[in-house]
Amino acid sequence: MKLKMMYSFLNSDINIIEKALEETIETESLLLRQASMHTLKAGGKRIRPVFVLLAGKFGHYDINVMKDVAVALELIHMGSLVHDDVIDDADLRRGEPTVKAKWDSQTAMYTGDFVFALALKLMANIEKPAAHKILANTMVEVTVGEIQQIKDKYRFNQNFRDYLRRIKRKTALLIAASCQLGAIAAGVEEAVHKKLYFFGYFVGMSFQITDDILDFTATEKELGKPAGSDLLQGNITAPVLFAMENEEIRKEIEKVHEHMAPLEISNIITLIKQSGAIEKSVALSDQYLDKALAILEEIPANKAKKALRDIARFIGRRKF
Amino acid sequence: MKLKMMYSFLNSDINIIEKALEETIETESLLLRQASMHTLKAGGKRIRPVFVLLAGKFGHYDINVMKDVAVALELIHMGSLVHDDVIDDADLRRGEPTVKAKWDSQTAMYTGDFVFALALKLMANIEKPAAHKILANTMVEVTVGEIQQIKDKYRFNQNFRDYLRRIKRKTALLIAASCQLGAIAAGVEEAVHKKLYFFGYFVGMSFQITDDILDFTATEKELGKPAGSDLLQGNITAPVLFAMENEEIRKEIEKVHEHMAPLEISNIITLIKQSGAIEKSVALSDQYLDKALAILEEIPANKAKKALRDIARFIGRRKF
């Protein structure tokens, strides 16, 4: 089942968000407009907006209010991807050239700054102090996580604690914030929006672990970049950490460096896949997914709850 | 007279801001902490915090509230400088190595993102919707201005309209926002905080024009970088535009490129200085300064008003 079909009852609102995203990045600067539109059109699952909208369904859902929050969260996500591509010196994302590759690092930096600022402009329409505090805290954590990720590259003596803390900041916190802010914007009571926060957090952890698994198991076509790219760039993810529990594989993995030959890295990927590390990583992802689903049981039933459950399962177990 | 003596009655509060700036950038990430502290310690006139505090004196001044706004505005300024240095590929600022030079572009990018996010966190304590809207709008404009500045480099057929719009976004809007947000945080009525906005805007224009003049007239020691650096980097400022009104000087200026020999650029600087362009630029700066002082006359008299007047005169006519 496709993600879009899964939230079919949101469909017209998803289209509103898509249109609002395009309208928001309109600016007199041709360069900023083109670079932002390029990033927007490169796609993405729009998971954050969907979570914003679904969380809003637990309160007074007004699409004109929800729209601002949904677009803001997607823009923050977009901005962080654009900045990440500068750091990773990445030329491709989802099979498309990155802003950094199509233009340059400078343009990528200001495009990121621009979409961040646009997000704040939209969020400023939400006159709920708690929302601003949560968003600002999230953005601080995300940035600390990003710099940590640079420092942790090729650092083979890191452990699961390092990894989990990194993906929390890199991915889970913004998904958690999407759920919580959607709920707050719709006036959902604190007891419920806090649960939605934890739901988003656990889904986000499961989502990122799955992403990290797919870097090994999916094809280049599905990924839009060569398999094993994360490892080649020095990102030590769950499958790598599990594989390194075997001393011999660990020695091989420790040889990984930026300019490793394709055949060599391909051999190491095979070693990791044969080590049982993928299965262990799937189990880890499932643990988070189960926690997410359990929390969902504690909040009132409605149509959105079913959709949240389906989407959580989908993104935690997707094939690409 | 030194700037610090000029706002002597704010002195203890300025120290509180300085301390709060240091405390705010505390983080578990050593790299982010060092890079942020480096930028902080590189100095700066702290003009934006001073304007925040002085504007607050027109309302219910509570240093605990004003502090958050003052620190936030300085952090936003700091963040934009750090990002600018990546773009300009600048190795020195105020005689100190830039973050980009001391570490690298990646660190500079995330340090900028980090201090921006910290600024939002502090601003989130100000539960006034108007403040968030003004700040977000300012940040959008500043970013558009930054990308415009890249595009306008070495574009010798630009005019004063391009230049003034650029410095408005680059400098004046953030100083205007500092004045207005300081006032709003202190509950100053709209009629007055709007005037403070325009005061800040005009002061900011005068300030930037003066800055652009100093690039030609100050010594390398005073500037902390070689004189004429702006022009060498392709920034077409007021003195350059005035000098280009002379066709022969224009032809010489149009030869400027990034790798021009020091003697050649030095000859062009001499031409510009002898053309009367400096005097015309000073007159332009004074026009904005006069507008700022005129607006000040329209708002209630108090101790802060005198300080605002003194500081406006100082920064519009400073020697370095």
Worst-scoring range by mean pLDDT, A310-314, B48-52, B279-283? A310-314
Interface test with A, best of B27, B69, B110 (most A CBs within 10 A): B110
Token duo for residue A123: 């969020």
Distance from CA of A129 to the nearest CA of B (A): 6
Q: Could you report the predicted ipTM of this complex, rounded to two decimals?
A: 0.89
Q: Which residue in chain A is spatially nearest to B117 when comparing CA positions?
A: A140
Worst-scoring range by mean pLDDT, A39-48, B137-146, B188-197, B235-244? A39-48
- Which helix (H) or strand (E) segment is A5 a member of? helix A3-6
Interface test with B, best of A110, A122, A151, A161 (most B CBs within 10 A): A110
Instruction: Tell me what pLDDT residue B12 has.
Output: 87
Residue pair B204/B174 in contact (Cβ under 8 Å)? The answer is yes
Instruction: Tell me what pLDDT residue A147 has.
Output: 87
Given B32, B83, B140, which is nearest A117 (Cβ)? Answer: B140
Instruction: Tell me what pLDDT residue A50 has.
Output: 94
Given B87, B112, B151, which is nearest A31 (Cβ)? Answer: B151
Q: Which residue in chain B is spatially nearest to A130 when comparing CA positions?
A: B124
As a whole number, the mean pLDDT across chain A is 90
> How much is the average pLDDT of A185-196?
97
**A&B contacts, CB < 8 Å:** 129
Distance from CA of B87 to the nearest CA of A (A): 6
Residue pair A277/A239 in contact (Cβ under 8 Å)? The answer is yes
Chain segment B246-256, per-residue pLDDT in tens? 999 999 999 99
In which band, very low, low, confident or very high, does the pLDDT at A3 lie, cut at 50, 70 and 90? Answer: low
Percent of chain B at pLDDT above 70? 96
CB contact under 8 A, B136 and A117: yes
Distance from CA of A189 to the nearest CA of B (A): 19
Chain segment B141-165, per-residue pLDDT in tens? 999 998 888 889 999 999 999 999 9
In which band, very low, low, confident or very high, does the pLDDT at B117 lie, cut at 50, 70 and 90? Answer: very high
Q: Which chain A residues are closer than 8 Å to B150 by Cβ?
A: 106-107, 110
Give the Cα separation of A174 and A200 in Å (integer): 8
> How much is the average pLDDT of B189-200?
97
Give the Cα separation of A18 and A15 in Å (integer): 5
Q: Which residue in chain B is spatially nearest to A33 when comparing CA positions?
A: B144
Instruction: Tell me what pLDDT residue B244 has.
Output: 97
Instruction: Tell me what pLDDT residue B105 has.
Output: 81
CB contact under 8 A, A86 and B109: yes
> Does residue B264 carry a pLDDT above 60?
yes
Given B114, B127, B143, which is nearest A110 (Cβ)? Answer: B143
Provide residues of B within 8 Å CB-CB of chain A. 27-29, 31-32, 83, 86-87, 105-107, 109-114, 116-118, 120-121, 123-125, 127, 129, 132-133, 135-137, 139-140, 142-144, 146-148, 150-151
Interface test with A, best of B34, B105, B120, B170 (most A CBs within 10 A): B120
Given A83, A107, A136, which is nearest B113 (Cβ)? Answer: A83
Chain segment A220-237, per-residue pLDDT in tens? 877 777 778 889 989 999
> How much is the average pLDDT of A191-218?
96
In which band, very low, low, confident or very high, does the pLDDT at B276 lie, cut at 50, 70 and 90? Answer: very high
Chain segment A254-300, per-residue pLDDT in tens? 999 989 998 899 999 999 999 999 999 999 999 999 999 999 999 98
According to CATH, what is the number of the domain B1-317? 1.10.600.10
CB contact under 8 A, A136 and B123: yes
Token duo for residue B39: 């930028």
- C-alpha closest to that of A272 among A310, A309, A230, A223: A230
The angle that helices A11-24 and A63-87 make with each other, rounded to 10 degrees, is: 60
- Does B26 or B317 have the greater pLDDT score? B26
> Does residue B1 carry a pLDDT above 70?
no
Enumerate long-range contacts of A226-231, CB under 8 Å, 24 or more apart. A226/A262, A227/A269, A228/A265, A228/A266, A228/A268, A228/A269, A231/A256, A231/A265, A231/A268, A231/A269, A231/A272
Q: What is the 3-state secondary structure (H, E, C) of B214-226?
A: HHHHCCHHHHCCC
> Does residue A136 carry a pLDDT above 80?
yes
Distance from CA of A75 to the nearest CA of B (A): 13
> How much is the average pLDDT of A138-146?
92
Distance from CA of B117 to the nearest CA of A (A): 5
The label of the residue with tokens 């690298």 reads B104
- Does A44 or B180 have the greater pLDDT score? B180
Worst-scoring range by mean pLDDT, A135-149, A166-180, A304-318? A304-318
At position A107, the amino acid (one-letter code) is T
Question: DSSP per residue over B32-74, as a string?
Answer: HHHHHHHHHHT----HHHHHHHHHHTTS---HHHHHHHHHHHH
> How much is the average pLDDT of A87-105?
76
CB contact under 8 A, B147 and A31: yes
Q: Which residue in chain B is spatially nearest to A127 when comparing CA positions?
A: B129
Domain ranges of chain A: 1-317
Give the Cα separation of A225 and B192 in Å (integer): 56
> Does residue A96 carry a pLDDT above 80?
no
In which region does residue A275 sit, left (phi positive, over 0), alpha (psi from -120 to 50) or beta (all else)? alpha
